[in-house]
Amino acid sequence: METAKIISFNVWIVLLIFQYQIEDSYCKGKISLKLLEYNNPTGTDAKGDCCDSPVNVPGCTRGKCDHLFRICLLDSTSRSNTSNCLQSTDITTSDQNVVKFDQNQQNVQFVFDTWKGEAPIKIEVFDSNTDDKNNVLIDQFLDRYNSTKAGFNQTSITAVNFNLIGTRSRNPSSLRFSVSVYCDPQYYGSDCSVKCVPTNKCDGHHTCDHEGNKVFLSGWRGKDCVEQIPGSDVDCSVYTTTSQSKFLGHIQVGVRH
């Protein structure tokens, strides 16, 4: 029986450590890219051929392109334009040479563990009339989003707009999109590496400021905000009735750095 208890306890410890590792490995921030508008008025691919015609027709009037947008987040440490995608997403549209993206199409998110100050992005545009292995290149765009720090959260950021001209030599197309970077909930700092979780339990009594510093709740002090201040409103020893003996942590009185 004792052996079973020991095994059970060890299994519980292993599961606890595993759960902590999983929770700690979650991403700490996001790069949000929103496609706004794409313009390929000639309806041609990178070689100048009409997208939807076996032969070139003046003005490419026999059909419009079925655009596939492959959006890639590249390695920020590499300066090569041919770097492989660290993360990628495909967005498709049909029979449109001028695409104005709606709310359901435009949002693309990439995750990161630590914000490194820049995000190189490559967007390739294909004609997707055929199967995925034979998509025909239409145009491509390459640029870098730079910011010294990530936004505090999704609602505190200002997106940066990009208006790019494609790289193809004949009648290059154009693309408008925006990029923003922000920390996930409970993560703070310029690179989203500071974690702070508000709590009012035995493991702490604090909220968090915009930098991720712990802000004491009323009546608490010390490391991790777990030491009661004698005589404060949460010091149960000063009460004579049980109806009053509860935590009243609603006033911020100090910051722990």
Per residue in 185-196, pLDDT (tens digit) is: 999 999 999 999
Residue 10 maps to a domain: no
| Alpha-carbon span 17 to 12, nearest angstrom | 9
Please indicate, yes or no, whether residues 136 and 252 belong to a single structural domain of this protein. Answer: no
Please indicate, yes or no, whether residues 159 and 207 belong to a single structural domain of this protein. Answer: no
With 50 as the cut, is the pLDDT of residue 167 above it? yes
Residue 120 maps to a domain: yes
* Tokens standing for residue 247: 């935590």
Number of domains composing the chain: 2
Residue 234 maps to a domain: yes
Please indicate, yes or no, whether residues 115 and 231 belong to a single structural domain of this protein. Answer: no
Residue 14 maps to a domain: no
Q: Span 208-214, mean pLDDT?
A: 85
Residue 19 maps to a domain: no
Strand 204-208 vs strand 199-201: parallel, antiparallel, or unpaired?
antiparallel
pTM of the predicted protein model: 0.73
With 60 as the cut, is the pLDDT of residue 248 above it? no
Query: Nearest CA to 167 among 244, 76, 82, 77?
Result: 82
Q: Give the domain range for residue 207.
A: 196-256
| pLDDT value of position 5 | 44
| pLDDT value of position 249 | 41
Q: Domain holding 70: CATH number? A: 2.60.40.3510
| pLDDT value of position 208 | 87
| Alpha-carbon span 245 to 228, nearest angstrom | 13
Q: Choose one of 187, 219, 236: the last residue of a domain.
A: 187
Please indicate, yes or no, whether residues 151 and 211 belong to a single structural domain of this protein. Answer: no
Q: Choose one of 136, 167, 187: the last residue of a domain.
A: 187
- Mean pLDDT is highest, among 3-17, 51-65, 126-140, 182-196, for 182-196
Please indicate, yes or no, whether residues 180 and 203 belong to a single structural domain of this protein. Answer: no
Q: Is 24 helix (H, G, I), strand (E, B) or coil?
A: helix
How confident is residue 55, by pLDDT bands cut at 50, 70 and 90? low
| Alpha-carbon span 175 to 98, nearest angstrom | 10
| pLDDT value of position 219 | 72
